[in-house]
A and B are shown apart, each in its own frame.
Chain A
């Protein structure tokens, strides 16, 4: 049979974003693939060079729009290192709180989109409903559902509102019961098992060689989690397990993500306990007004009072919901970063598509690519 190239994208229900998977088919079998990205390239790295350090945070929220907090955290860590600043301890715990709620929110969004690809409609509604509960919590202390601008160089913008802890615990109790229900809906469904088992297999060696990280890597049995291996913020002060599976297939990725959500609930309970007991400042002292976010007047006047920070280079890496994200921030003095470079985990995960798509049927592409959890905003930046 003759072979042919087919475009799946940029507008295609499989893509969950704006990218193009060019597939070479022999009948129903995938012979070759060529992912084509860049349809959402917004030049975030270039725009950052024209922005003040705190203004880059705005771009970070939009860079990965399902994991805004994690990307804020990534940039903040690198920028603080470049500017030689340290946040107070309470701000570190608040950042972990944000990160882990974000992990739940992001995985729920993934769950909702992924099960719909397989043809299960009601889990989509359940996933979106529970995600809205988490988004309500973000809203109570940042004022926004998706684009928060909450973390600041040197701390976080504001403290939690009164009564947040009790409300958050209620949501966590609710969620931890729901995760079992999700398992019933998916793992208990024959359709799900038949469509997902032994699909999209990517073994540990290939994962490492192709730079695949995050739940995809851990589903292949590699126990790499930067929160554990290279703890940042308060992650060395909380207890949790790294979720690992050994199937290396779509079901294993599902299991890893569900387990990560359960572990996130565990971390959040500890963080909430600590935050209840230890009030304190959330912003580093003695910041110049153009950096000291919460009370700085917005506008030129606030920015003119500048302190010359010594030159420096900041490097940070965080485990965001999709995998390992890296930031490299160069400070050459002045108000703007000289160069900002981000490494997106999904960028590498997509680039390995040849490894986990070839040989499967064309109808297997939606579940496989769904299990990769694609956020095209951070791929193209």
Chain B
């Protein structure tokens, strides 16, 4: 499957919600879309194009905006495809994929916890790796790491 095949199939379904399909080495391509088209795109990828395996979703914090990169695999084409969507940093909200692929459940919980992406209609959006009540999102660029001694000194002076 080539990027052209993807865009030929997806353009009529998504319309202007599809931004572009770029080539990406060793994959079927990288589909860039607007978040309004998320559910339609997911459904088309699974049902029409055969990407039945949801591999993961990676959240990336670009400071001025955030990006969610979905990784899907098709057993028929034996190829990966990347779906990339830009979300505004103030309102990083996108429709959950866990209704389409049940395996997205935990991956989205992790992305919410680590990069603060909000997944609408997620069945169970709660902490996964960090304990309940943890209020930070560690993989944001604004979250800095410190040597433990540094923190101790800081705590002593507060």
Contacts and interface: CB of A to CB of B under 8 A. Distances in A.
Direct interface between A and B, CB < 8 A: yes
Interface stretch (A43-51, A92-100, A181-189, A288-296): A43-51
Interface stretch (A165-173, A208-216, A251-259, A367-375): A208-216
B56 A343 contact: yes
Contacts of B60: 330, 338-339, 341
B123 interface: no
Q: Which of A43, A47, A341, A348 has the most CB of B within 10 A?
A: A341
A326 B69 CA distance: 12
A129 interface: no
Interface stretch (B11-19, B36-44, B73-81): B73-81
Interface string A342-381: 0100011001100000000000000000000000000010
Contacts of B58: 328, 339, 341
Given A47-B145, A324-B55, A330-B60, A224 B75 contact: yes
A343 B71 contact: yes
Contact of B139 (A46, A224, A317, A328): A46
B55 A45 contact: no
A336 B13 CA distance: 39
B110 to A, nearest CB: 8
A237 interface: no
A335 interface: no
B27 A315 contact: yes
B27 A38 contact: no
B82 A326 contact: no
A222 interface: yes
Nearest to A339: B60
A347 B73 CA distance: 17
Contacts, number: 91
B75 A211 contact: no
A380 B26 CA distance: 28
A315 B82 contact: yes
A210 B103 contact: yes
Interface in B77-108: 78-80, 82, 101-107
Contacts of B104: 211
B55 A347 contact: no
Contacts of B52: 208-209
A230 interface: yes
Interface in B60-78: 60-61, 69, 71, 73, 75, 78
A193 interface: no
A86 B51 CA distance: 29
Q: Which of A43, A211, A328, A380 has the most CB of B within 10 A?
A: A211
B128 interface: yes
B130 interface: yes
A286 interface: no
A362 B47 CA distance: 37
B131 A38 contact: yes
B103 A326 contact: no
B106 A348 contact: yes
Interface string A267-288: 0000000000000000000000
Nearest to B52: A208
A211 B54 contact: yes
B50 to A, nearest CB: 11
B139 A81 contact: no
A230 B130 contact: no
Interface in A192-209: 208-209
A229 B78 contact: yes
A57 B137 CA distance: 24
Interface string B25-37: 1110000000000
A37 interface: yes
A41 interface: yes
Nearest to A41: B129
B78 A351 contact: no
Contacts of A339: 58, 60-61, 139
A355 B4 CA distance: 38
Interface in A291-327: 313, 315, 317, 324, 326
Given A50-B145, A230-B79, A328-B58, 15 more contacts: A38-B127, A41-B130, A210-B103, A211-B101, A211-B104, A213-B53, A230-B26, A230-B80, A315-B26, A317-B80, A339-B60, A341-B58, A341-B59, A348-B103, A352-B103
Interface of A: 37-38, 41, 43, 45-47, 50, 81, 208-213, 222, 224, 229-230, 313, 315, 317, 324, 326, 328, 330, 338-339, 341, 343, 347-348, 351-352, 380
16 contacts: A37-B129, A38-B127, A43-B138, A43-B145, A209-B103, A211-B101, A211-B103, A315-B27, A326-B55, A326-B56, A328-B56, A339-B60, A343-B55, A343-B71, A343-B107, A351-B103
The 4 closest A-B pairs by CB, nearest first: A211-B103, A343-B56, A38-B129, A341-B58
